[in-house]
A and B are shown apart, each in its own frame.
Chain A
Amino acid sequence: MGRIRLMDEPLSNKIAAGEVVERPASVVKELVENALDAGGMKIEVLLEEAGLLRVQVIDDGNGMDSEDAELSFARHATSKISNEHDLFRIRTLGFRGEALASIASVSKVTLSTSDGTVGTRIQADGGRITGQSAAALRKGTDISVEQLFYNTPARLKYMKTLQTELGHIIDLMNRFALSRPEVAFRLVHSGKVLLETAGSGDIRRVLADIYGVQTARKMIPFEGATHDYRVSGFISLPEITRANKNYVSIFVNGRWVKHYAAVRAIQKAYHTYLPIERYPIAVIRIEGDPYLTDVNVHPSKQQIRLSKEAELLRLIEEAVKSAIRNAVKAPVIEKKPQQRQPRRDAQLEFWKAASSPEENSIPVQTPSDKPAGQVTGEVEQAPPSSGKLPSVGETASSYPEAEPEPVGGWSEGDTSDGESGELREEAKPFPELEVVGQVHGTYIVAQSKDGFYLIDQHAAQERIKYEFYREKAGEVDSSERQTLLLPLTFHYSRDEAYRLRHSLDLLHSSGVFLEEFGDTSFIVREHPAWFPEGAEQETIEGLIEQVLTDRKTDVKKLREEAAIMMSCKRSIKANHFLQKHEMERLLADLKAADQPYTCPHGRPVIIHFTSYDLEKMFKRVM
């Protein structure tokens, strides 16, 4: 008796804070989401000590009156939903009503807000309101969170280095900027501007602010729609690759989410365009009825459940695939080696800049005609607006040779009229190539009106043969079936067996007839005669795997590896000297290929040196 009692509110808030407020980035996330939900169009985030000392978020949104301001500190207090129905049509980023209460319980919060009629200032310490007064009348909200985790030493102890925490915040702000290009974001850490977007509504400008102008130029737009979903966004050309998936940002109705299946759909679309273990940069915006999306999965709201997911994934894959197909052309030679490409990651740019503060540089280009300082009346440090980002600035100024590229006529100067349509890469037909000769028995040199081309003869033939074998691999006759003396047995888990039992007909088209054999086992009494000898079991398992994951069988895909291997083996290698007519034939075949620019392993087949590159090299033009 008496051992169980209700927790008091500050304690339960602290427990909730454990889920919601994991690190300074979580605070930034919750506060910026609030600012966006309040309709803010200019949002400024000011940090001290990577947010541990202070996070201040200033917006020009709707603000609150004094009563609401006070209530906003209470748990489960929200303006975003009012009844159960609303939960299924959430259009705001937040809805749980626990963010501010949770944050306040582990920090000292000062909130100044005004709805345009009254201004209110509230101070809270560890979740308890300690002061309330009138404040200046500026529509919007200015909230500052100080001494985060001051009363939860255990959590504070587990903070990573300031760099790591700041990295998380920069990453988060990048995603916000990508999700809402129409909002002007500004991220300042100890007086240094780490991100500044213009709020022009143009994602490509945001991409340039984040990844650099050069990279943004190599991003191509895509879109597609079904009855239920609309997807749009930007993806990188295959020549731009990253070593991990973090550069794929997925937004569902404006919310950044982690969606493994969608990333996989994109990867599939890039299949054979990218080397293995490389990933594209991508911004995928998915819009659909909120009814179809369920974000109420985890307090962090990073996971999402989507109805009609298969349909959506197909849509993404198709849209991305057709955009790449139209855009891919031979990579143009650039003089700077890949390693010296501009930093794509504002985080590291910052550290570069921070390590040499005397340079007086700020890491991101600032469109000086839009001083974001307007919204930050209470900010002490006015950021220098004329500074240059070391790396991005470098690419824009010290490498002017990239400028005349016709498709990329996009630089700081003309961003104001930069419609994305103008920036679109034209889908160029494969160039008419005239063979000049062969280098080292390995590369074919060819020319056309717009410069000269180097072609890797092995990769070229590999691509040609691959396309042949890929089709051929799919053309197997599954009606000829080798019967078995001893049936093959397959065991699956209960749920897999259940799903399999309802998909048996999908396997029939591939000539595999599973018979139920007990609860979770199946037997096969005959198999298509083309199955490689000794690998019958694996082949059937592969087909079943396809049915379980994709709900269809694809023999072509199953045999793709064999097709790639066959095409590699049966292609001419390096050090194979060719006659001119042989090279001409090879190039003619390559021209006819579906996707002549990369080999099946994702390496380039052809590299283009433009006439302009040559003129530059010989200093005919300066």
Chain B
Amino acid sequence: MKFEIMRDRLLDGLSDVMKAVSSKTAIPILTGVKMDVSADGISLTGSDSDITIQTFIPAEEDGKEILRVSEGGSIVLQARVFGEIIRKLPTNEVEIEINRNFQTHIRSGKSEFHLIGLDPLDYPQLPDVQEEELFSIPADLLKTIIRETVFAVSTSETRPVLTGVHWEVKDGELVCVATDSHRLARRKTKLQSLQEEHSAVIPGRSLNELNKILHDSADPVEVVMTSQQVLFKSRNILFFSRLLEGNYPDTSRLIPSEHKTQVTVNGRALLQAIDRASLLAREERNNIVRFTTNGSEEVEVSSNSPEIGKVEEQLAAGAIEGEELKISFSAKFMMDALKAIDGQDVVIQFTGAMRPFILRSALDDSILQLILPVRTY
């Protein structure tokens, strides 16, 4: 096997698949990346058993030659070392040649590396995903959906299913829900050509990695699901992830449908006020801040820590309807929710100090954030 390639293109592909490669793994060969070379191009594969990423570097793109293959073949190379070598090569042209016994020579300019490769036959097969595509979604919308939900997954392994985001396709709509039991994020997306009903729980970590390697563009991403795997296909990238097993709790009945107090407030202003107040919310107390309605046009955000001091801040509200309210909650959860709604005017609906409350964007109904309050007395 022998080929020449533009260093930058190889590096891009490598850094994408390296997202799936972990330095700690029970299967030693998974610390490597697999390279399959044919006349069409190179495919690179990295995996940690949970996530598998495959990128494809075509031999020719937009009439430009990227790759010149003299002889095809396959090899597995230690991902970390190989990545570092490619990154630091002196020129933009790389020649890679593999002899028998997987001896690998990497030449660029006057520099030449000899790497010991591993047998590609030992590398695990890609997950078997033969199913038809479920739906297709623009990459930038997919990234937004991930950003708006994935932060709310649980970090605790006590209930593994909560470490994932629940994706449900129903009635022509994709509903994504994440909760760690303290707060919940839900995003609904209308999609065309959604026929089949399907649901799955995708690990939060997989979605975070997917978010990193997808480009902000309107290019379509095809989503394929089996009972154990989800596959995201975009141009030149295949992203496989294991699904979480177990029944995701039915969250729809947990979201209150009516409210007693409704506050409309500028999201960015509230975020900043909470951020300031949380400076004095003791770390050990999980950053608790207090939120009080003050007449019909003002809310107060306050925090008190006996050892450090206290803070109060008044904030003009667009509108306050319904009962007066005093409520405490975690500053962190509130800030996460406000960041997900992203600066727009926010409608907050409360049903008393002890009940969950919800946040929505004043402009669009697709996103909903729910937060559980902290009981104080």
Which chain B residues numbered 342 to 373 have a C-beta less than 8 Å away from chain A? 354, 356, 370, 372-373
Q: How far is the CA of A481 from the CA of B328 in the complex (A)?
A: 10
Chain A residues within an 8 Å CB radius of B155: 533-534
Whether B184 contacts A485 by the Cβ 8 Å rule is yes
The closest CB in chain A to the CB of B376 belongs to A480
A491 vs chain B, min Cβ distance (A): 12
Which chain A residues numbered 6 to 48 have a C-beta less than 8 Å away from chain B? none
A residues apposed to B, CB below 8 Å:
476-477, 479-486, 488, 526, 529-531, 533-538
Question: Is the CB of B21 closer than 8 A to any CB of chain A?
Answer: no
The closest CB in chain B to the CB of A475 belongs to B284
The closest CB in chain B to the CB of A541 belongs to B158
Chain B residues within an 8 Å CB radius of A535: 156
Q: How far is the CA of A536 from the CA of B377 in the complex (A)?
A: 21
Question: Is the CB of B286 closer than 8 A to any CB of chain A?
Answer: yes
Chain B residues within an 8 Å CB radius of A476: 284-285
Chain B residues within an 8 Å CB radius of A526: 375
Whether A486 contacts B286 by the Cβ 8 Å rule is no
Chain A residues within an 8 Å CB radius of B154: 534
* Residue total for B at the interface (Cβ-Cβ under 8 A): 28
B155 vs chain A, min Cβ distance (A): 4
Whether A530 contacts B285 by the Cβ 8 Å rule is yes
Partner of A538, one of B158, B182, B249, B284: B158
Q: How far is the CA of A480 from the CA of B284 in the complex (A)?
A: 12
Whether A482 contacts B372 by the Cβ 8 Å rule is yes
B residues apposed to A, CB below 8 Å:
154-156, 158, 162, 179, 181-184, 249, 251, 254, 284-286, 288, 328, 330, 354, 356, 370, 372-377
Whether B285 contacts A477 by the Cβ 8 Å rule is yes
A120 vs chain B, min Cβ distance (A): 73
With A479-B377, A483-B373 as contacts: A537 and B158 at CB distance below 8 Å: yes
Whether A533 contacts B286 by the Cβ 8 Å rule is yes
Whether B156 contacts A536 by the Cβ 8 Å rule is yes
Q: How far is the CA of A486 from the CA of B181 in the complex (A)?
A: 5
Q: How far is the CA of A272 from the CA of B354 in the complex (A)?
A: 42
Whether A486 contacts B158 by the Cβ 8 Å rule is no
Chain A residues within an 8 Å CB radius of B184: 485
Can you name 26 A-B pairs with beta carbons within 8 Å? Answer: A476-B285, A479-B375, A479-B376, A479-B377, A480-B328, A481-B374, A481-B376, A482-B182, A482-B286, A483-B373, A485-B251, A485-B254, A485-B356, A485-B372, A486-B162, A488-B158, A488-B181, A526-B375, A529-B285, A529-B374, A530-B284, A530-B285, A530-B286, A533-B155, A535-B156, A537-B156
A430 vs chain B, min Cβ distance (A): 28
B108 vs chain A, min Cβ distance (A): 43
Q: How far is the CA of A480 from the CA of B374 in the complex (A)?
A: 6
- Give me 6 other A-B pairs in contact (C-beta within 8 A), A485-B179, A486-B254 excluded: A479-B375, A479-B377, A480-B328, A485-B184, A486-B249, A529-B374
Whether A486 contacts B328 by the Cβ 8 Å rule is no
Whether B158 contacts A483 by the Cβ 8 Å rule is no
Chain B residues within an 8 Å CB radius of A529: 285-286, 288, 330, 374
The closest CB in chain B to the CB of A472 belongs to B284
Whether A482 contacts B330 by the Cβ 8 Å rule is yes
